[in-house]
Chains A and B, each alone.
Chain A
Amino acid sequence: MPPGNEYAAEQLKTQGNNHFKNGEYGEAETLYSQAVQKNSKNPLLFTNRANARLKLERWEGVIDDCLRSIELMRENMKGFFYLAQAQLAINHPNEALSSALMAYELCVSSRQQTSNAATISALVLKCKKAKWDIRERERIRRRADLLSDLEQKLEEGYKRTVSDLEDRVEAGEVGAVEGSEEKASLKTDFEKKVGDLRTAFALSDPEHLEKREVPDYLVDGITFEIMHDPVVTRNGRSYERATLIEHLKRNPTDPLTREPLRIEDLRPNIALKEACTEFMEKNEGWVYDCGDGEVDVNTRWAHLSSS
């Protein structure tokens, strides 16, 4: 690299950051690209450009940038974080989930625990939800096919009997009054069968039977939501890691006992985490949806606090 290029790249990056702050993502992207041409060894240039491209919804570009940045620097929380969002946007929830989990892992193992954990944790949930949605759509489609096939069979049978009956009335084998009475009973019979069939399908769907409520022992006492990375405090209570850290940063005491509590004192509650995961696997769709009247204050793309 010719001398001075590193400096030039840094200058371009600063200019790009200013445009980004003003919401001028196109301009920011151009400047980051110029910076990359001056210095292609700085992973931050790629993640910054990825972030701008995320805003511009240029997913492939985001993915390229993130992968290049990660190649230059393995421990790359932002890289994995933007990557996950782009993968989610192009509907690859499996890849998105593993990227998001990498970002989360890097975030909670970093020395300065920031509020990023909460943001990334929300993205992890979003990816899990996307995975669950695909599975669920597939399942409903298969079931719906079977149900409509069966309903069609019943209807064909019913129509055939009715037309037979009409033929016999026509031929004088059956009286007109008797014929219309029998027709009415055939109709009730058919409708009852369809009703029973639909009930049977509804009952065989465990979703309809299970009570849609998360057991209290899986719920974080601060957010009132199911935990996905519970940590245990010295008095044995568990909380969601990201939210408890938010509290401890302001007030380093145990929320219940008010005894001094430091972030370093927290231990993962592995068994509880597994219980939560299992519950989510079974019920994810609605567990995630039960944000009653949530107002999404975030704009479309999540952001990490600058570090």
Chain B
Amino acid sequence: MFASKRLGKELSKLQQNLPPGITLVEAENFSEWTMDIRVVDENPLYAGEIYRLKFSFSTSYPIEPPEVVFTQDDAHPIPWHPHIYSNGIICLDLLDRQGWSPVHNVESICISLQSMLTSNTKKERPPGDEDFVRYNKQRPRDISFVFHDNQV
């Protein structure tokens, strides 16, 4: 409905200025964007690495949240985090239908992910990562995560 208009405006803002550690890689259309993020402080878990994010928007964005996953290639690993599965799927309340709010945007999601990494000290995957990665066929937005701890 208004997704393309809103994304158009977000894009022109992103092209003007972005907070440190966040870069726009590709936004050729209004359905899929690629962003890179890195952790700006000196957390040894993430030092020197750049992570690639894929945003997928439905036509109901920003009423509906975008689908956001980390993607892996030779230059971009999947960051270690007890809420990030090794296939790049992120368990973050903000990206869940219930936790989402339409006042969020691509930039604020990137900032939230940055701070989620910054504050983490555990080189861990979520419990059951192996099984989840092997058996999950659902799209991230259809998975209902249980948020057991909000401390991380």
Contact = CB atoms under 8 A, between A and B. Distances in A.
Interface of A: 118, 221-225, 243, 246-247, 250-251, 253, 255-256, 258, 291-295, 297
Given A223-B6, A255-B102, A293-B4, A250 B12 contact: no
B51 to A, nearest CB: 27
**Size class of B's contact patch?**
20 to 34
B59 interface: yes
Given A292-B9, A294-B8, A295-B30, A247 B102 contact: yes
A223 B4 contact: no
A253 B97 CA distance: 12
B98 interface: yes
A291 B63 contact: no
Name the residue in B1, B9, B30 with the highest tally of chain A Cβ atoms < 10 Å from its Cβ: B1
Given A291-B8, A294-B5, A295-B4, A255 B103 contact: yes
Interface of B: 1-2, 4-6, 8-12, 30, 59, 62-64, 97-98, 100-103
Contact of B102 (A222, A291, A292, A293): A222
B84 to A, nearest CB: 24
Contact of B2 (A221, A243, A255): A243
A71 B1 CA distance: 32
A222 B5 contact: no
Contact of B8 (A222, A246, A293, A297): A293
B101 A258 contact: yes
A-B pairs, 4 with minimum CB distance = A292-B8, A224-B9, A222-B102, A255-B101
Contact of A292 (B12, B63, B64, B100): B12
A224 B102 contact: no
Contacts of A247: 63, 101-102
Nearest to A291: B5
Contacts of B1: 118, 246, 297
Name the residue in A118, A225, A256, A292 with the highest tally of chain B Cβ atoms < 10 Å from its Cβ: A292
A221 B30 CA distance: 19
A292 B6 CA distance: 9
Contacts of A225: 2, 5-6, 9
Contacts of A243: 2, 63, 102
Nearest to A293: B8
Contacts of B9: 224-225, 292
Contact of A256 (B64, B97, B101): B101
